[in-house]
Amino acid sequence: MSEPQSTLTDRFGRRITYVRMSVTDRCDFRCVYCMDEKMTFVPREQLLTLEEMARLGKAFVQLGVHKIRLTGGEPLTRRNVMQLFNDLGHLDGLNDFTLTTNGSQLPKYAQQLKDAGVTRINISLDTLDAQRFADLTRIGKIEQTLDGIDAAIAAGFDRIKLNAVILKNRNHDEIIPLVDFARDKGIDISFIEEMPLGVISDHDRAEVYYSSDDILRDIREKYDLQAIGATTGGPSKYYQSADSDTRVGFISPHSHNFCDDCNRVRVTAEGRLLLCLGQEHSVDLRRVLRANPLDDAPLLAALQDAMQIKPKGHEFDLNAKPILFRHMSATGG
């Protein structure tokens, strides 16, 4: 693979090689930490088209991005979404093409995604209990996600990882069962601290905070987890025990800030480039895409210019006001 002529490097010398693109802000679940019960979604005409998303993804790869994650909302609920996976999947220079999903549509799509070039999949699963699953997702059914996990395993991705958001007194008693489940299935699992993105009415985020250190302590009551140096180019820190291939990751935006080696940016489904998960610095790429339908030079220049406003980092404070204007589903989690 030859080095690109120009790359994306910010003021702090961090090279941006990883882009998370939100395919839609809509979802077939309403998880209590992610969305409010009644959500207003972006009108469809304001979303980037799938063609515009593919064009943007290709521009990023031209600038040295070698990992793209498609996320949402629930990416697999967008109509004709396979078109986007097929357009991006086999790009020269893109060596990691990944998806974050709630799993509900994987029975239908897992094999097509594998064929399109998706290398790895993250599937969200916070509980193994059917009633709790219904409570936490408000409208989801656990069988959908469990069937989706099995479909992904059958399709044979390089790696599959579960993502679990742990909330005190809601599902913290399931940490070990979730690790057991991942080990039984031969897949990885990451635990995520809840982040204050968007206003939610279900709970007080400070009250349910359960830190990565607490989770690690709980798991060590059963398994001898040791830190390993492995990275998948994201914010997870990984651990493993000698008796299993399953890696246990921790995404700890509160307790272990991961900004110093940040290598990523996000794009919302409306085409807004977000330079930091926890700050509001952004650039309207939809305007650039639509003003220059046949010429990519202004788009490439806009991406490079945007690096000048990437902030040094973020601090989340559960007692301060949240990032108001976007929920995780709109941010592209």
Binding site for ligand SF4 (CB under 6 A): 27, 29-31, 34-35, 72-74, 102, 124, 328-329
Shortest distance in whole angstroms from residue 212 CB to ligand SAM: 12
- When the beta carbons of 58 and 69 are compared against ligand SF4, the nearer one is 69
- DSSP class per residue in 11-34: TTS-B--EEEEES-S--S---TTT
The dihedral formed by the CA atoms of 92, 101, 255 and 166, expressed in degrees to the nearest 10: -160
Q: Choosing among ligand SAM, ligand SF4, none, which partner's interface includes residue 71 (Cβ < 5 to 8 Å by kind)?
A: ligand SAM
Member of 10, 188, 194, 202 binding ligand SAM (CB under 6 A): 194
Q: Choose, by CB under 6 A, the member of 24, 144, 163, 252 that binds ligand SAM.
A: 163
Q: Which of 57, 72, 89, 271 binds ligand SAM (CB under 6 A)?
A: 72
Identify which of residues 58 and 120 has a Cβ nearer to ligand SF4 in the complex. Answer: 120
Chain CA centroid to CA 281, Å: 19
- Residue 329 binds ligand SAM, judged by CB under 6 A: yes
Q: Are strands 18-22 and 264-267 parallel, antiparallel or unpaired?
A: parallel
Choose among 22, 18, 122: nearest CA to 72. 22
Decide whether 6 or 169 has the Cβ nearer to ligand SAM: 169
For the bound state, the minimum distance from the C-beta of residue 94 to ligand SAM, rounded and expressed in Å, comes to: 20
Burial of 188 (0-12, 13-18, 19+ CB in 10 A): buried
Does residue 269 bind ligand SAM (CB under 6 A)? no
Q: Which residues contact 295 (CB under 8 A, 6 or more apart)?
A: none
Query: Rounded to the nearest whole angstrom, what is the least distance from the CB of residue 299 to ligand SF4 in the complex?
Result: 27
- Residue 101 or residue 240: which is nearer to ligand SF4 going by CB? 101
Please name the residues in contact with 19: beta carbons below 8 A apart, sequence gap of 6 or more.
57, 60, 65, 67, 68, 69, 264, 265, 266, 267
Residues 112, 149 contacting (CB under 8 angstroms): no
If binding is defined by CB under 6 A, does position 268 make contact with ligand SAM?
A: no
Q: Give CA–CA dist 97/118, Å, rounded.
A: 5
Q: Minimum distance from CB of 312 to ligand SF4 (Å)?
A: 28
The residue whose two tokens read 């509980």 is 127
Contacts with ligand SAM, residue ranges (CB under 6 A): 27, 33-34, 71-72, 74, 100-102, 124, 163, 165, 192, 194-195, 197, 328-329, 333
